[in-house]
Amino acid sequence: MQLFETIVKHGEHEEVVICHNKDAGLKAIIAIHNTALGPALGGTRMWNYQSDEDALVDVLRLSKGMTYKAAASGLNLGGGKAVIIGDPKTQKNEALFRAFGQYVQSLNGRYITAEDVGTTVKDMEYVYAETRWVTGISKSLGGSGDPSPFTAHGVYMGIKASVKEKHKSDSLKGMRVAVQGLGNVGFHLVEELIREGAEVTVSDIDADKCKKVEKQFNVKVVSPDQILAADCDVLAPCALGAIFNDQTIPKLKTKIIAGGANNQLAEARHGQALKELGVLYAPDYVINAGGLMNVFVELEKYSPERALQKTETIYESILAIYEIAKKEDIPTNVAADRIAERRINQIGKLKQKHTGFNPRTFGTLKVDGR
Ligand code: NAD
């Protein structure tokens, strides 16, 4: 593998840590992309990667994404991520996560971890046995628990901002909203939409989830191949990524896309394609930042009220992105990137000037009670 070539190709990362503990069977990579705004926060993914190169590319890409997400959301956090190479179904054990925790500890707060795809709150409790630099742990240990209701609430606020932008009023009463995916985020989102009087259409590849939601709320269920082209005012993707591509975009009937799924655009150029069709797109990493805001509050001193308050700032953040997109005549995904980059440059410089901030010595953030 051309290690440095791969790293340089995927952005200017501050630090990439290769973690290996033979006895514990640990092979992991921690990538710290940028700490100009604060310590790098991002979850630990456990995945059976085809090759070490695939794992490296994934962690570089994901950590850079976290820098942009935190910056555009107005959080004083940088971007980082970790991947553990292995099968999450068969290769997990206490020693593996504790060995990983020792690597996180060795970074002394420059990187803060959390759960992600393939890892659970229980796994993070093993990590927590070795380091305080872990968040999103269970409520019984003083953590904030499941972030999904906060992610869903942020998406709901982003939908209201988008409706305001298109229709001048942000009321969702009578608005036709189509929700793809009824998992942790989708379910809570449907609950909030119904509460405000929206007409909700849903879909999930898991028929049991559809039945559960249909039983609980007054919703219309459609098949998974119909939901993206549903005739609606707002389409809220809350399942997988890369769903807006050359095949799906021409079939869209919605004029607003605002949902919680990560990496919704197959490629950045699809943001331009949506703009040309007059579809307002709420950039995914901004509208789905409620979960990140929740764990950020956990790092200070957890209060659900503060987490909720922070999540509600997504409304203004989304409107600010639409404003810049209009002013500069650019797609909204590009506007979000510009806002993030400007904040990293301006605030990052300010911190250096006023506090002598040096990413190398960062680590003063207090994790309450630990
Ligand atoms: P989840 O796994 O609980 O739910 C995803 C749901 O989508 C599942 O019910 C699955 O059956 C369904 N699904 C998959 N493919 C589908 C398809 N083609 N059509 C319809 N349904 C389909 O995941 P989640 O935690 O609810 O997260 C949803 C999305 O939001 C993901 O993209 C995730 O990365 C993103 N996200 C989640 C959080 C969070 O706090 N959970 C935070 C930020 C971003």
Give me the mean pLDDT over the 75-104 stretch.
97
The token pair that represents 112 in the structure block: 């803060």
Tell me if residue 92 is catalytic: no
- Catalytic pick among 81, 160, 275, 310: 81
What does the radius of gyration of the chain's CA atoms come to, in whole angstroms? Answer: 20
pLDDT tens-digit map of 302-349: 899 999 999 999 999 999 999 999 999 999 999 999 999 999 999 877
Instruction: Output the residue whose Cα is nearest ligand 1's atom 34.
Output: 262
Predicted local distance difference test score (pLDDT) of residue 261: 95
DSSP 115: B
The token pair that represents 239 in the structure block: 């399942």
Q: Which atom of ligand 1 is nearest to the CA of 148?
A: 40
| Domains parsed from the chain with CATH numbers | 2-65+80-146+361-369 (3.40.50.10860), 148-330 (3.40.50.720)
Instruction: Output the residue whose Cα is nearest ligand 1's atom 39.
Output: 148
Per the prediction, the chain carries an average pLDDT of 92
Predicted local distance difference test score (pLDDT) of residue 352: 64
Ligand 1: residues whose CB is within 6 Å? 147-148, 151, 180-186, 203-206, 209, 224, 238-241, 260-262, 288, 291
Counts of helices then strands in the chain (DSSP H, E) = 13, 12
- Provide DSSP, 298-365: HHH---HHHHHHHHHTHHHHHHHHHHHHHHHT--HHHHHHHHHHHHHHHHHHHHHHHH---GGG----
Predicted local distance difference test score (pLDDT) of residue 126: 96
- Phi and psi, residue 230, nearest 5°: -60, 145
Burial 294-312 (b: 16+ CB within 10 A, else e): bbbbbbeebeeebbbebbb
Predicted local distance difference test score (pLDDT) of residue 271: 98
